[in-house]
């Protein structure tokens, strides 16, 4: 009887100790099943985000593409079902990150570029991304990148490029004063810019050539005016015949009238006796 009680107590004790383990195992299975179902439900969303990220990468929208590739990796599990899509998202995350890091380096944002590359090479993503590793090595090489060219300096470089382009446009359209002003603005930003000085030299030469042509034109006009002063007026024929005939006719009529008047004068007596000849 005593042995039976002992056995019963051992059975109850064993069940008491085993029951939590069984319940815990069941809970783990339930949680795992729920997680699997959640990931399975997120696969369509992950495929959609992946397609959008690839389009953004093709359009060179590297910042947005990098964020969408990261989101796609959260939605797509690394499983046999989605392995191909997951690999595409991982490769896209690496490529877009490298492009974005290069863009930040071009802007002089070297610390931000380093953060992006370190994230790509972390265990959570792709430690074997060769492009990211190479770029990070270059970033740490003082002889490869001039880190004195910060964002302000690079922004000034872009302003110089823009002003030079505008100056060339003004020169081609004949607005030389506006072109000269743009070159002056370039020299205010970059006092030793040879392109601006060459542009000003070209404008000065163009104005000088215009001055030479203007001098020649003014001199030619003055010489013509002097020569024109020595020109004799040309006698007109044809149009002056009528007035001459009228004048002759008027003279003839006047002579006839005088003659008639003289003929009509009658002197009754002329006495020449004792008249002086003076």
Residue 109, pLDDT score: 86
Residue-wise pLDDT tens digits, 235-260:
888 765 555 555 555 555 777 777 77
Percent of the chain with pLDDT strictly greater than 70: 73
Instruction: Tell the CATH topology of 10-149.
Output: 1.25.40
Residue 229, pLDDT score: 83
Residue-wise pLDDT tens digits, 83-126:
688 889 899 999 999 999 999 888 888 889 999 999 999 988 88
Q: CATH classification of 152-225, choosing from 1.10.357, 2.60.40, 1.25.40, 1.10.3470? A: 1.25.40
Start-end of CATH 1.25.40 domains in the chain: 10-149, 152-225
Residue-wise pLDDT tens digits, 155-214:
888 899 999 999 999 999 999 999 999 999 999 999 999 999 999 999 999 999 999 999
Residue 38 has pLDDT above 70, yes or no: no
Residue-wise pLDDT tens digits, 128-166:
999 999 999 988 887 777 777 777 887 888 899 999 999
Residue-wise pLDDT tens digits, 71-87:
988 888 766 556 688 88
Residue-wise pLDDT tens digits, 258-276:
777 777 777 666 666 665 6
DSSP states of the chain as a string? -HHHHHHHHHHHHHHHHHHHHHHHHHHHHHHHHHHHHHHHHHHHHHHHHHHHHHHHHHTT-HHHHHHHHHHHHHHS-SSTTTHHHHHHHHHHHHHHHHHHHHHHHHTT-HHHHHHHHHHHTSTTS-TT-HHHHHHHHHHT-TTT--TT--HHHHHHHHHHHHHHHHHHHHHHTT-HHHHHHHHHHHHHH-TT-HHHHHHHHHHHHHHHHHHHHHHHHHHHHHHHHHHHHTPPPPPP-STTHHHHHHHHHHHHHHHHHHHHHHHT--------TT----
């Amino acid at each position: 009887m005593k042995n039976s009680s002992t056995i019963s107590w051992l059975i109850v004790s064993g069940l008491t100790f085993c029951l939590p383990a069984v319940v815990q195992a069941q809970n783990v299975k339930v949680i795992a099943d729920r997680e699997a179902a959640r990931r399975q439900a997120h696969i369509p969303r992950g495929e959609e985000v992946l397609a959008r990220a690839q389009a953004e990468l093709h359009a060179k929208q590297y910042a947005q593409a990098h964020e969408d590739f990261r989101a796609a990796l959260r939605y797509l599990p690394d499983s046999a079902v989605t392995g191909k899509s997951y690999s595409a998202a991982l490769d896209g995350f690496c490529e877009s990150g490298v492009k974005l890091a290069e863009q930040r380096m071009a802007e002089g944002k070297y610390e931000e570029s380093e953060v992006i590359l370190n994230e790509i090479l972390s265990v959570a993503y792709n430690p074997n991304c060769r492009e990211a590793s190479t770029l990070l090595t270059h970033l740490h090489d003082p002889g490869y990148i001039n880190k004195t060219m910060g964002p302000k300096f690079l922004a000034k470089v872009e302003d110089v490029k823009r002003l030079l382009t505008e100056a060339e446009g003004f020169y081609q359209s004949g607005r030389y004063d506006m072109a000269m002003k743009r070159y002056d603005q370039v020299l205010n930003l970059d006092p030793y810019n040879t392109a601006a000085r060459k542009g000003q030299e070209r404008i000065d030469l163009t104005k000088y050539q215009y001055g030479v042509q203007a001098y020649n034109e003014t001199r030619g006009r003055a010489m013509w005016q002097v020569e024109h002063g020595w020109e004799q007026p040309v006698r007109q024929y044809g149009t002056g015949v009528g007035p001459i005939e009228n004048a002759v006719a008027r003279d003839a009529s006047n002579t006839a009238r005088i003659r008639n008047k003289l003929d009509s004068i009658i002197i009754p007596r002329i006495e020449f006796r004792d008249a002086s000849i003076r």
